[in-house]
Amino acid sequence: MKKLPNIILIFILLFTGLKHCPALSAEKGLVAHWGFEEGKGEISEDLSGNRHDAVIKGATWEKGGI
């Protein structure tokens, strides 16, 4: 039973550390990546880390998904 707390601790450390590394999921040479996950507002954040946020004009957000 001593292994279970260690395994849980390892998973917690891995997942909390990886969520702060957007470059791990960015493709090499990627200029911008917009997920349009905000659900409101007029700006979609650039997830590539290059700070090319999209300004949304004349559109409305819809609930739902793919």
Each residue's pLDDT tens digit, 25-66: 556 788 998 988 888 899 999 988 899 999 999 988 888 766
Provide the phi-psi class of 36: left if phi over 0, else alpha when psi is between -120 and 50, else beta: left
DSSP H or E run through 13: helix 3-18
- The predicted structure's pLDDT at residue 19: 55
pLDDT at 25: 55
Tell whether pTM > 0.75: no
pLDDT of residue 2: 75
Q: Quick one: pLDDT at residue 43?
A: 92
Instruction: Take residue 29 and report the two structure tokens written for it.
Output: 């040479």
Could you tell me which residue, 3 or 55, shows the higher pLDDT? Answer: 55
CA distance 15 to 11: 6
